[in-house]
Amino acid sequence: MLNDRNVLFGLHELEGVGWKTIDRLASGVSGAYTELVRAEPGDLVAFGLKPNVAHGICARLTEAYIEQRLEAYERHGTSFLTALDSDYPALLREIAQPPWILYYRGDLKTLELPAIAMVGTRSPTVYGRKISFELARDLSANGVCVASGLARGIDSCAHRGALTGAGSTAAVLGCGPDTVYPVENASLYAEIEEKGVLVTEYPLGTQLKPGLFPQRNRIISGLSLGTVVVEAASRSGSLITADQALEQSRDVFAVPGPVTSPKSSGTLELIRQGAKMVASVEHILEEYRGLVPFGGSRREIGTRPDISASEEERKLLGLMAAVPVTFDELLMLSGMEFGHLHSVLLNLILKKKIAPLAGSSYMTL
């Protein structure tokens, strides 16, 4: 069926069409993506595309092509979520370049749970393996989804720990959904598909490229309330995820290690720069009291705690009762400090009481 959702999917499937190109086209047709199937190259050039790109899109983006790609995903057993969908993760929608499409395998409801990202070195010490497994296990036992990248080392330990609890885990791939990388994680991939969710912004058939992995890190942090770094050298790729978490106004936590260990130099530097030091799961959960069922019993995937709004949340809901309100207006009207207001708004988004809009505005649901 030809609709805006499927045309956006088809556009995303075209080789050589990236995030910015789709953004230009989305603005050009004001979100009416079906118009692109009938567009002429000159129309797309008027939206800011180069003539050769415009001709390529018009030649390939046909109803037959879209149907062909939809059938390919159905055969593969992979589903997808678009930025147009109401169940697109609210926190991910807030980042600078949210994925237009999220391909997934497994239980999508895993992404409805509060999430904490956990990343670190691909060659951890025994200490790092133990801590990442135990922290992830305890987060999951408290109904928190643990997001990571299915890489060797800390990522794998975090996924395995999280699979033992109700929060389970979300693996964000740096390749297409038809590729298991690294290959030794094939059984872990299968277990996450069964008990959690695997997500990627890369289509079927995407070849492994080093540059794709740093790019996916923004999704790991973007899905999460905060990012925990366990063992990272001073130039570790894990620090990219921590940097992106900070850019997204998310919390950054770091696990300390021996000052003599090169694998702890990055985490110790994060702590020196202001990241919260973590020695137990309580040091993470205490930042989200009222949002995460701190110390509570395990829950089944897809169920959400019945959390009533706090007095501050009710105050903000009252200010947004009639029309969308900007962050600056809420800052002035509420009397809250910048960081605290952002935290309360995040709570309301995750409780699905408000929705973020363009221009740093918010409205009640």
Using the predicted structure, report yes or no on whether residue 174 has a pLDDT greater than 90.
Answer: yes
pLDDT of 63-76, one tens digit each? Answer: 999 999 999 999 99
Instruction: Supply the pLDDT for residue 356.
Output: 83
Give φ, ψ of 170 to 5 degrees: -120, 120
| pLDDT at residue 318 in the model | 72
Q: What is residue 308's predicted lDDT score, i.e. its pLDDT?
A: 60
pLDDT per residue as tens digits for the range 114-151: 999 999 999 999 899 999 999 999 999 999 999 999 99
Contact of 57 with 11, CB cutoff 8 Å = yes
Task: Write down the pLDDT at residue 292.
Answer: 67
Inform me whether the pLDDT recorded for 212 exceeds 50. Answer: yes
Q: Give the per-residue pLDDT at 297.
A: 36
Q: How confident is the model at residue 317 (pLDDT cuts 50, 70, 90)?
A: confident
Structural domain boundaries of the chain? 4-76, 105-288, 311-364
User: What 8-state DSSP symbol labels residue 299?
Assistant: -
**pLDDT at site 208:** 86
* Tokens 């879209």 found at: 66
Task: Check whether 298 has a pLDDT greater than 60.
Answer: no
pLDDT computed for residue 307 by the predictor: 46
Q: Does position 304 have pLDDT exceeding 70, yes or no?
A: no
Distance CA 6, CA 324 (A): 29
Spatial strand order in the sheet of 354-357: 325-326, 361-364, 354-357
Q: Which fold has domain 311-364?
A: Arc Repressor Mutant, subunit A (1.10.10)
How confident is the model at residue 311, as a pLDDT? 80
Query: pLDDT grade, residue 302 (50/70/90)?
Result: very low
pLDDT higher than 60, residue 296: no
Out of 3.40.50.450, 3.20.20.80, 3.40.50.720, 3.30.10.20, the CATH code matching 105-288 is 3.40.50.450
Q: What is the pTM of this model?
A: 0.80
Q: How confident is the model at residue 306 (pLDDT cuts 50, 70, 90)?
A: very low
Q: Return the residue matching tokens 């092509």.
A: 65
* 8-17: average pLDDT: 96
The 3-state DSSP class for residue 212 equals helix
The CA–CA distances, whole Å, from 199 to 66, 223, 292 equal: 21, 11, 23
Quick check: 104 and 170 in contact, CB under 8 A? no
**pLDDT mean over 25-31:** 93
pLDDT value, residue 32: 93
